[in-house]
Amino acid sequence: MGLPRIVVVGAGFGGLQIVRELAEAPVSITLVDRCNYHLFQPLLYQVATSGLAPEDIAHPVRAILKHQQNVSFRMAEVSSIDLTSRNVETTTGKIEYDYLVLAFGGVTNYFGLYSAADYAFGLKNIDDAIAIRNHILNMFELAAQQKDEKLRKSMLTFVIVGGGPTGVECAGAMSELVNIVLMKEYPELDFSEVQILLLEGSDRLLPSMPANLSEATAQMLSKKQVKIKLNAIVADYDGDEVVLKSGEKIPSCSLIWAAGVRAASIADKIGLVQGSMGRIVVTPTLQVESYPEVLAVGDAAYLEVDGRALPMIAPVAVQQAKAAAKNIVRLINGQKLLQFEYKDPGALATIGRNAAVAAFGKYHFSGIIAWFLWLVVHIIRLIGFRNRIMVVINWAWDYFFFERAVRLIMAGKEVYLKYFSWKSNTTSSRRSDT
Amino acid sequence: MGLPRIVVVGAGFGGLQIVRELAEAPVSITLVDRCNYHLFQPLLYQVATSGLAPEDIAHPVRAILKHQQNVSFRMAEVSSIDLTSRNVETTTGKIEYDYLVLAFGGVTNYFGLYSAADYAFGLKNIDDAIAIRNHILNMFELAAQQKDEKLRKSMLTFVIVGGGPTGVECAGAMSELVNIVLMKEYPELDFSEVQILLLEGSDRLLPSMPANLSEATAQMLSKKQVKIKLNAIVADYDGDEVVLKSGEKIPSCSLIWAAGVRAASIADKIGLVQGSMGRIVVTPTLQVESYPEVLAVGDAAYLEVDGRALPMIAPVAVQQAKAAAKNIVRLINGQKLLQFEYKDPGALATIGRNAAVAAFGKYHFSGIIAWFLWLVVHIIRLIGFRNRIMVVINWAWDYFFFERAVRLIMAGKEVYLKYFSWKSNTTSSRRSDT
């Protein structure tokens, strides 16, 4: 008999961690992902705001795993999973498994608001981030040539939905891109016409963090000319105008959707019980109840701890991956499985230069120390020494020279040049994660 | 009366140089380009072969010119030029001029071979380079999963057409990507199935350089497992099979077209006399004969020196730009114009690690000294200190660690995943410069 075959779907934080944890195990692993790289999603918003190049936060999966003997990588998209005959159907053929790990991660959640899905920008993958970068820079180039004041102002109004860490960090970075860098380069423009709005549906920013940090965050963002609207829920968007539930209308050519995440669409196709955000319900041992040889981790998995669902963040994925790897070995050896216990590692969010908030248990603080901590944590967590060097150089460069180096419009520019305004281009969708 | 209005079309080597030369002149310059960045084209093939990130060799035009007061930048595509009423029609409106500089550069020249235009990859802009990078890496990912030997071999056969500097440098870099880097990461593949072919229509490589260097180049490439075919002319390509004029057929999913350049298509639309490669014929003062207020430089201009047309290379563009700037000032002041004199700066081409050829007048040499010279020259010529740092780090990294860092498939992957083979996807064109 051959070695137990393990198929891991997804090379994000969870999938990659599982594969690495099993490096010494007598198993044969196949890792499947539609991309050939692992993406460091927490810094994606910096690609969207011209701070980092996409290449700085992505690392080829084969490069990461080249010294691990018991794994083979397969770039393919999973189209369905046959849980009964135990095989994964992909765009490049079937893969049989003895044990399956679902680590396919999450995508942008528009909560059924189709107009936002069509015209807003998500921020979950590299294509999203590049699309946003191109779009922001295009808006400035076009506004610089636009004589119609109304149209120009809506080109210069950037609305970010979602006051969680992604929205907050994105708004802060947008503000610095505009006020530190672009302001020096567009003498044609009156920068009082530029507006950055951050919309949050609840009554405070960073609802998952302590309330005093919400206040500090709001203050730091306001200092950076970010307008914050709380209790603001988007009802509609046609590419030109954001309509809120209150009836308020905000003319804007740019809606960045950082308001929600859900499990990738494959979660809906495999016939397993789903919890909130489409996630696959797992037991405390991270197994699917009816198929104990199937485990799920990270954004793909739904697990409640003390009556609350675990959040869809990287630390959960990494911790679950470690536990899942141990449990797979135990399953193979016929041992009793371990219950997953989540240790909250604390939370960090950066607002910009010298500005961040941090919450570790009962310790809450904001300002330059939180910011420095944020820098260190993110550099350490990046995979690949070269990526670390590149990120450090880019950050140091931007910090000392008040710059954003990567403000390049690459690809997709034809659309803008031909139509000049979104109005003429209403049939195309801006989504990349469909 | 206001300042003389100068419109410069194109922010390549020529256009940018003219603008900088005129920094102190009492003129009002408008620089127009469809991209918001200046591209360092000589290193484009390194982006195509995963050595550099696109961001390393592109620099925002506004950043380059932010300290120059007499120029404004306009991102737009020129659609036509009215030479009589002296205005340039762009996608974002008209621009009137007193003096016009045509510096719109060149595009890939398929010499009317429409099948190549549809299925081959050009290598003249960032989108081209990213498309090639994505494609090469996709071919390896797909070949690793492909059981049909014939199809797999054609996925692993890479044909480069054109034995000039671009083709030679591209073939060398491809070979190193394959034999130094990818070979370690695809244990599934038998690398004896990988073929890199370099086709040249004449009887030697680098026909513009001395014959002994052609020989040295051929030897260095052969050592790197590049197969060279001289007197080989492509007659047809359908995405699966390259057909040569001799009747020989080469099954290959990848044809990189480095066989020719011509002036950008706007050259055909303005009703001026065109020389070979569609270039606008200019007088020795770089003026258009019938419109003395119109000058042309670089790949846009056709000028014979000693009965031979000047080549379409960066040094010609830069030298002509300097002369054209002087002549514009003289035109404004009513002075006699200067005749352009070309000084051949010599030629360099790199084949790979420690391997290059150099020709400076009667001095011809090859090997590590030529290679080192090549490195220094290219780093000096790059615009922007940050770009220089990034390129140096990338090169050092790749040199010492036998790596190619940027082997990431970004965007366009859906096509490959869905169709798996080019056969099923015959309606789509791979060109980006249409």
Position A415 scores a pLDDT of 43
Task: Please check whether residue A144 is in contact with residue A137, taking contact to mean a CB–CB distance below 8 angstroms.
Answer: no
pLDDT surpassing 60 at residue B422: no
Task: Work out the mean pLDDT of chain B and round it to a whole number.
Answer: 92
Taking CB atoms and an 8 Å cutoff, what residues of chain B touch A133? none
Q: Which two tokens stand for residue B231?
A: 């007197």
pLDDT surpassing 50 at residue B338: yes
Position A358 scores a pLDDT of 96
pLDDT surpassing 50 at residue B421: no
Window from A186-200, B322-336, B396-410, B412-426 with minimum mean pLDDT: B412-426
Chain B, 252 to 271: residues with Cβ < 8 Å from chain A are none
pLDDT surpassing 50 at residue B230: yes
Higher pLDDT, B387 or A160: A160
Position B1 scores a pLDDT of 63
pLDDT surpassing 80 at residue A416: no
A55 and B405 within 8 Å at the Cβ level: the answer is: yes
The residue of chain A nearest to residue B38, with distances taken between CA atoms, is: A408
A289 is catalytic: no
DSSP assignment of A352-366 equals ETTEEEEEETTEEEE
Position B7 scores a pLDDT of 98
pLDDT surpassing 80 at residue A371: yes
- Kindly report, residue by residue over A251-264, the tens digit of the pLDDT: 999 999 999 999 99
- Kindly report, residue by residue over B85-117, the tens digit of the pLDDT: 999 999 989 999 999 999 999 999 999 999 999
Task: Please check whether residue B48 is in contact with residue B75, taking contact to mean a CB–CB distance below 8 angstroms.
Answer: no
pLDDT surpassing 80 at residue A430: no
B408 and A37 within 8 Å at the Cβ level: the answer is: yes
- Kindly report, residue by residue over A136-177, the tens digit of the pLDDT: 999 999 999 999 999 999 999 999 999 999 999 999 999 999
- For an interface test with A, give the residue of B408, B415, B433 to mutate (most A CBs within 10 A): B408
Position B387 scores a pLDDT of 87
Position B222 scores a pLDDT of 97
- The band of B383, judged by pLDDT with boundaries at 50, 70 and 90, is confident
- The band of A298, judged by pLDDT with boundaries at 50, 70 and 90, is very high
Q: What is the mean pLDDT of residues A5-27?
A: 98
Give B139's contacts (C-beta < 8 A, 6+ positions apart).
Answer: B155, B156, B158, B253, B254
Task: Work out the mean pLDDT of chain A and round it to a whole number.
Answer: 92
Q: What is the mean pLDDT of residues A324-350?
A: 96
Position A407 scores a pLDDT of 87
Position B402 scores a pLDDT of 85
E strands, A186-244, are 195-199, 226-229, 234-237, 241-244
Position B11 scores a pLDDT of 98
- The band of A110, judged by pLDDT with boundaries at 50, 70 and 90, is very high
Cα distance between residue A130 and residue A57, in whole Å: 13
pLDDT surpassing 90 at residue B283: yes
pLDDT surpassing 70 at residue B427: no
Task: Please check whether residue A359 is in contact with residue A209, taking contact to mean a CB–CB distance below 8 angstroms.
Answer: yes
A390 and B390 within 8 Å at the Cβ level: the answer is: yes
B409 and A37 within 8 Å at the Cβ level: the answer is: yes
- The band of A386, judged by pLDDT with boundaries at 50, 70 and 90, is confident
pLDDT surpassing 90 at residue A125: yes
- For an interface test with A, give the residue of B178, B402, B410, B419 to mutate (most A CBs within 10 A): B410
Q: Which two tokens stand for residue B120?
A: 């081959």
Higher pLDDT, B402 or B167: B167
The residue of chain A nearest to residue B90, with distances taken between CA atoms, is: A417
Task: Please check whether residue A88 is in contact with residue A266, taking contact to mean a CB–CB distance below 8 angstroms.
Answer: no
The residue of chain B nearest to residue A418, with distances taken between CA atoms, is: B91
- A286, B227, B228, B362 from B218: Cα distances, Å: 59, 9, 7, 21
pLDDT surpassing 80 at residue B432: no
Window from A251-265, A420-434, B55-69, B243-257 with minimum mean pLDDT: A420-434
- For an interface test with A, give the residue of B69, B183, B386 to mutate (most A CBs within 10 A): B386
Position B411 scores a pLDDT of 66
- The band of A405, judged by pLDDT with boundaries at 50, 70 and 90, is confident
Cα distance between residue A333 and residue A305, in whole Å: 27
The residue of chain A nearest to residue B401, with distances taken between CA atoms, is: A386
A91 and B417 within 8 Å at the Cβ level: the answer is: yes
Position A1 scores a pLDDT of 63
Taking CB atoms and an 8 Å cutoff, what residues of chain B touch A411? 126-127, 130, 411
Query: For chain B, what percent of residues have pLDDT higher than 70?
Result: 94
